Structure 1
Amino acid sequence: MKTARRLARSGLAVAILSATLFNAQDANAANWFALQGISPPTAPLFGISGFIEPTVWAQPGVEDNLLHEVPHINLIGPDFSQNTTAGILRARIMFRGNLNPEISYFVAGEFGDNGVTRVRGGYQPALIDGHVTFSYLPGARVEVGLIRAPSAEGAMQGFMTYNFVLSSTVINQLMNQPMFNSAYLNKDTPAGYLIPGTQNLGANGYRYPGAMVFDWFRNGPWEFAYGAMLGMYGTVAAGNQSNEPMEAVRLQEAYILGGKGPFRSDIQGGIWYQHAAPRWDGVNYDMNRYGADLQYLQGYMHPWGRQLRFEYIHGNGWIDAPAAFSKAADLAAPLYQTQLYPGISNRAWGYMAEAGLFLTKNIEVNLRYDYYNRLPNNPAQNRIFKTYALGVQYHFTPLTKVMAGYYFRTLGVPHPNPTSESVSRSVDNVFALQAMIAF
C-alpha cells in the first residue's frame, strides 16, 4: 500500500500503475481508452510525471551504386543527415489529475527530436496531448481537446508497452501521417504533387483536435469498449492547418485472463475506421484508413510471460511516398521531394505480426515481421517494405527498461528502373539501442 501511494503521487504513468497494478478499485479501467482518457479514481488534483528515451542508432549508410548518394532509408530521421548517431528520441512531461470525480484532464509536451517536433525542417517542441474528460453520462464519457484518435491498437499503445525502438513501417507510414503545407503547390503529374522537406509540417503522433465519446462495459471476464471521434485533420504545431474534418471509430472486445492496467493478461480483438478530408489545391480529398487487430498478452514481467500481436491496415486516398534523398542539385526533382498522391484510387496496405517471451522476470525477447505494400496501383511508385526485427529488453520496473533491436530490411520494387533498383539494393540493416526512463 505504501508503494502504491508513492507511485500515485508521481502522475500519469505511475498513477496508472498505482490504480491498476497495485490496488485498483475498478478493474474495468484496463484498456487504452480508459488509461489515456481518464485519470485513476484515486489521482489527486494535480500530478506530474514524464519519461525520456536516450537512443543510439547504427547502420552502414550505404550509398546506391548509380547516383552515389546515401538514400533516406539508410539515414536516421528526422533530419536524415547521419547514419550513426545518438540523441533523445522522446522526452515528455505530463500533467494530469481529477478536477472532481467526473472531470479529469491530461496535458503533455513533447521535447524529443522526432517527427512530431520537426516542423518545416526545424526543431519545435510540441503539445502532444491536451484534453479534458467528462464522465457524467452513463455509457458515454466525453473527451474534448487534442486526442489520440481511435485507430489501430499499435497506434493507441502507451509508451510503457513499446517493444522496439523502430516503429512498424505499416503503422508509421499509414497512421502517423505527416502534414504538408497546403499553400505550397508543385504539381508533378495529374495524380501527384512534389513537396520539399521545408513544406513538411511534422506528424501528429496519432493525435487530432476534436471530441470523442467512449466507454467500456464489463460482464464477468468479458469487456467491450468503443470510441467514436469527430475532429479536425491537420497539425496543431504548425498553426492554421487544423481546418478539415476527420472521423474515427474503434470497437474492441477483450477476454480478461487476469491482472490489471496496461500490462493485464487478456485476449483482445478490435476493428476500426478513420476518414479525413484534407484540402489540397482547392480540393478536399477523401483519406480512408481501416483495419483489424488481435492480441494475446499473459504474464507481464513473469517468467515465461508471453505476447502475440497481429495487425492489418489498409488505406486508400492520400498516400505519400517520402523523398528518396535529402538534396542534390543534379538529381531529378522527385528523388529529393516527397511525392503526394491524394486521389481516392491510390492505395496501400500491410500487416505486422509480433511475438514476445519473458525468459526471466526482467529479460524479454521479441520478434516482429512487418510488411508494407505502398501504391500497388501505381507501377512507377510501387514499393514493398519488409522488415524482420529481433529485440531484447531488460525491465528494471514496469516503466523503466533498456531495449536493443536489430532490423533486417528489404525494399522491393516490382517495376524497377535503374535508379529505383539501385536504391533498393543499397538498403541495409539497422541496430538501435534505447533506454526508457520514467519519472
Structure 2
Amino acid sequence: FYVPNLMVGARGNFLPGRVNYFVTLNAGDNLANYKTFKTSREHTATFTDASVTLSYIPGVRVRLGRFKKPGPEELYQGLDATDYIFMTDFVNRVQVERFIEGNAKGTAAISGQGYSGNIKKYADDADVGRDTGVQFFDAFKRDKWTHSYAVMLAEGEGVHGFDLNSGHDTNLYWASEYDLPGGKGALKHGVKLFGWHQSGKRNFIIDSAGTKSQDFDKIRYGIGAKALGPIFGENRGIHRLGFELMYAEGMIFHTPAGNISDAPFGGWVQVAAERENQSRGITLDYGYYLNKHWQFDARWSRHDLLYKSLGTSTWGPADRRELEFLTLGVNYHFTPATRLTFNYEYRHVTAPDQTTSTAANANNAYVVTGSVGDHLGLRLTHKF
C-alpha cells in the first residue's frame, strides 16, 4: 500500500489583478520524494511548485519560479481536469525526466558519458514535469475561440536542483479552444487544439575530475486535440474524445534491467543519449457521461520506444520496445468538488527485434517484457 500523491497547495494574490502566487507541497510516495529505483525515502516532502505571476503588460503575463513546463496535455493539465490515475508510458518515461551523472549500457559505463565511479542503479533527481525559470504567456478571446501561448526559458533541472547542462531549455506552447456551453474554469467545456515543443542540452560527468561530456540534444514535441467535457457541450452530448501524438529525440530513459537472474545490465540506469535515438507516443481517449454522477473512460496508448536508434552496438534495433496499454476507468462525482476514480490498466510489452542479440540477451529481453503485469488504482479527489 502506498500513497502516490499527497499534496497541499495555496493560491492567492499579493496585489489583486497584478501579482499572484502558487505553492504546492508534495508528501506522496513519488519521484518528488524518492530517487528513481531507490526504495528508501529521500525527502519527507518537496515544494514542487513555487511561483509568482506578474500581470502588468497587456498580452504578456510573466511567471517566475518553479512550475509546470509547457508540454503534453496529460502532464500539463491540472489534477482536477485529469480523468485517469496513471500516466501513459511515453509521458511517464520520456517526459518526466530523470537526471543522472553517469550513463551505462551493459555492465559498464558508456565511453564519454560516464565512468565506473558514477554509474548508479538509481537516478539522482527528477523534474516531475516541472522546471525553474521564467515564462511569458497569456490568452486572447476571439468570438467563440480562446487562443493561448506560453514561452518558457528554464534551467533544465530537477526539483532538488540537479542541473547538469551547458545552457537553458526552451519550452513553447500554443492552444486554441472553441468554447461550448457548460463548465467553468479549468473544467470549461469546449474543443481544444494544441501543440508544443521542448528543446535543451544535457551533459554527463565523464571522469573523477568532474569533466563534463559533450552536449547531447534533448528534443520533445507533439500535437493533439481533445474535447473538454461532452464533445458538443453541456446537454448536447454524452461523449468525450481526445488524441495526442508525441515524439522524443535524444536523452531517452530506457530503464535498467534489474531483478533478473544473470541479467547482463546489472540494474544500471540507462539513457539513450544521442539524438538519433528516438521514441514515439500516441494516445486515444474516450469518455462517456451517463449522468452528473457517473463517468466512464477508456484510453488506449502506445509507446514505440527507440523505434529509431543510433544503430551501433550501444543502441540498436534490439533495444526497441513496443508498449501498448489500455486503461478502463470509472469516475463517480459525489459533488462538483469531490470524486472517486477507479482505473484498471491492461499492459502489453514486447521486444520485437532480437535478431541481432545473443540467445542469452534475447531471453532476458523476453523475461523483462513478459514480467509486466496489469495496473489497478483507486483515487479520491477533493478540491477546495
Q: TM above 0.5, one fold?
A: yes
**Match for 1:99: what amino acid?**
F
**Match for 2:286: what amino acid?**
A
Q: Aligned-pair distance for 1:285?
A: 1.1
Match of 2:239 in 1: 306
Match of 1:92 in 2: 7
From 206, 217, 225, the equivalent of 1:294 is 225
The alignment status of 1:257 with 2:177, answered yes or no, reads no
SS in structure 2 at match of 1:276: strand
Q: TM-score scaled to structure 2, two decimals?
A: 0.85
The alignment status of 1:268 with 2:192, answered yes or no, reads yes
SS in structure 2 at match of 1:172: helix
Q: Is the 8 A contact 2:126 2:159 kept in 1?
A: no
The alignment status of 1:356 with 2:356, answered yes or no, reads no
Could you tell me how far apart the structure 2 residues matched to 1:428 and 1:112 are? 23
Paired residues for 1:372-411 under 5 Å: 372-376=303-307, 377=309, 378-411=316-349
Distance 1:269 1:153, change over 3 A: same
Match of 2:54 in 1: 134
SS in structure 1 at match of 2:66: strand
SS in structure 2 at match of 1:87: coil
Q: Deviations over 1:35-64 (max 9, x none)?
A: xxxxxxxxxxxxxxxxxxxxxxxxxxxxxx
Could you tell me how far apart the structure 2 residues matched to 1:108 and 1:242 are? 26
The alignment status of 1:105 with 2:25, answered yes or no, reads no
Match of 2:275 in 1: 344
Could you tell me how far apart the structure 2 residues matched to 1:355 and 1:241 are? 40
**Match for 1:245: what amino acid?**
H
Could you tell me how far apart the structure 2 residues matched to 1:303 and 1:399 are? 23
The alignment status of 1:429 with 2:368, answered yes or no, reads no
Q: Is the 8 A contact 2:166 2:215 kept in 1?
A: no
Could you tell me how far apart the structure 1 residues matched to 2:127 and 2:305 are? 21
Structure scoring higher RCO (CA < 8 A, sep ≥ 6) equals 1
SS in structure 2 at match of 1:277: strand
Q: Is the 8 A contact 1:405 1:433 kept in 2?
A: yes
Could you tell me how far apart the structure 2 residues matched to 1:325 and 1:401 are? 37
Match of 2:64 in 1: 144
Q: Aligned-pair distance for 1:173?
A: 1.4
Higher helix share: 1
Q: Aligned-pair distance for 1:196?
A: 2.6
Match of 1:5 in 2: none
Match of 1:219 in 2: 142
Distance 1:301 1:164, change over 3 A: farther
Paired residues for 1:46-57 under 5 Å: none
Could you tell me how far apart the structure 2 residues matched to 1:361 and 1:108 are? 30
SS in structure 1 at match of 2:31: coil
Distance 1:302 1:115, change over 3 A: farther
Could you tell me how far apart the structure 2 residues matched to 1:163 and 1:420 are? 33
Could you tell me how far apart the structure 2 residues matched to 1:413 and 1:422 are? 10
Could you tell me how far apart the structure 2 residues matched to 1:415 and 1:335 are? 22
Distance 1:404 1:176, change over 3 A: same
Q: Aligned-pair distance for 1:271?
A: 1.0
**Match for 1:115: what amino acid?**
L
SS in structure 1 at match of 2:6: strand
Could you tell me how far apart the structure 2 residues matched to 1:410 and 1:192 are? 32
Q: Aligned-pair distance for 1:309?
A: 1.1
The alignment status of 1:154 with 2:74, answered yes or no, reads yes
**Match for 1:268: what amino acid?**
K
Q: TM-score scaled to structure 1, two decimals?
A: 0.74
Match of 1:284 in 2: 215
Q: Aligned-pair distance for 1:190?
A: 5.2
Match of 1:366 in 2: 297
Q: Is the 8 A contact 2:254 2:270 kept in 1?
A: yes
**Match for 2:345: what amino acid?**
Y
Q: Is the 8 A contact 1:226 1:250 kept in 2?
A: yes
From 124, 146, 167, the equivalent of 2:87 is 167
Q: Deviations over 1:245-292 (max 9, x none)?
A: 111000111111123211111111011100011111322211000000
Could you tell me how far apart the structure 2 residues matched to 1:380 and 1:391 are? 34
Distance 1:238 1:219, change over 3 A: closer
Could you tell me how far apart the structure 2 residues matched to 1:341 and 1:286 are? 11
The alignment status of 1:229 with 2:145, answered yes or no, reads no
Q: Aligned-pair distance for 1:424?
A: 2.1
Question: Stretches of 4+ moved more than 6 A in 1?
Answer: 191-194, 300-303
Q: Deviations over 1:184-234 (max 9, x none)?
A: 465544597694334x12322211000000000001111110000101111
Q: Aligned-pair distance for 1:237?
A: 1.4
Q: Aligned-pair distance for 1:108?
A: 1.0
Match of 2:132 in 1: 209
From 250, 253, 257, the equivalent of 1:324 is 257
SS in structure 2 at match of 1:155: helix
Q: Aligned-pair distance for 1:119?
A: 2.9
Q: Deviations over 1:315-356 (max 9, x none)?
A: 101111112325x7x634515122112111110111111111
Distance 1:103 1:403, change over 3 A: same
Match of 1:419 in 2: 364
Distance 1:242 1:102, change over 3 A: farther
Q: Deviations over 1:369-407 (max 9, x none)?
A: 010011122212110100011111111123321111111
Q: Is the 8 A contact 1:380 1:415 kept in 2?
A: yes
Q: Aligned-pair distance for 1:107?
A: 1.1
SS in structure 2 at match of 1:396: strand
SS in structure 2 at match of 1:290: strand
SS in structure 2 at match of 1:197: coil
